Amino acid sequence: MNWNILIFFYLALAMTFSSLLAIISRNPVHAVLWVVVMILHQAFLLYTLGSEFLTAVQIIVYAGAVLVLFLFVVYMINLRKEERWKVFVSKSSYGFIIFVVFLYLFFKNLAFLTALNPAFKVQLTYDLSQGSNLLWMARYLYSHYLFQFEVIGVILLVVIFGAVFLLRKLKEVG
């Protein structure tokens, strides 16, 4: 039992419990803040997986932009608390049985799921003695994955246009 395993177990437990609390808390502000906690732990998990650049991107983009956007929307539409309702699908207990069966099948076939294919061909190798992880990511991002990189930029631009277009003030016609 070395330090890597201990740190991994701490991060895994913290991520699991914070995401559970995020989906069971009644107050939307608390739910979004629990998602922030999970994302900060996941940023450290990405650091232990050897990519410091993705740690920075995760904190800046997810915790800094996306979740703050969620908080803005929660404050803007001003919902206090979600009331408890009766179940609106009768026979919903069958759903839990199917859920448990699926979980059983997942864990039964775990060896199949977790086996990395031995015929997997490493295409884009990197060597940490020749430069950091960030340097290798930049090399392949601007050469091999250049088209996908540009496509992500276009998608984000379209999202900005869509948000501005959909939320504009409508003028009464006629």
Q: Interaction with other proteins in 105-164: which residues (CB under 8 A)?
A: 106, 110, 113-114, 116, 120, 122-126, 133, 136-137, 140-141, 145, 148-149, 152, 155-156, 158-160, 162-163
With CB under 8 A, what is the number of residues at the site for other proteins? 71
Closest CA to 54 of 138, 128, 122, 111: 138
Please list every residue from 8 through 27 that binds other proteins, using CB under 8 A.
Answer: 8, 12, 15-16, 19-20, 22-23
Q: Say if residues 49 and 11 touch (Cβ distance below 8 Å).
A: no
Q: State the nearest-atom distance from the C-beta of 71 to other proteins, in Å.
A: 10
Please list every residue from 75 through 104 that binds other proteins, using CB under 8 A.
Answer: 76-77, 79, 82, 85, 88, 103
* Choice from 69, 101, 105, 146 touching other proteins (CB under 8 A): 69
Q: Provide the residue type at 28 as one letter.
A: P
Q: State the nearest-atom distance from the C-beta of 169 to other proteins, in Å.
A: 11
Q: Is the dihedral of CA 60, 49, 110, 124 positive or negative?
A: positive
Q: Could you say whether residue 61 binds other proteins (CB under 8 A)? A: yes
Tokens of 14: 């913290």
Q: State the nearest-atom distance from the C-beta of 171 to other proteins, in Å.
A: 15
Q: Tell me whether residue 143 or residue 173 sits nearer to other proteins (CB atom).
A: 143
- Radius of gyration in angstroms for the set of CA atoms belonging to the chain, rounded to a whole number: 22
Q: State the nearest-atom distance from the C-beta of 174 to other proteins, in Å.
A: 20
Largest CA distance in the chain: 74
Distance CA 8, CA 50 (A): 13
Which one-letter DSSP state was computed for residue 129? G
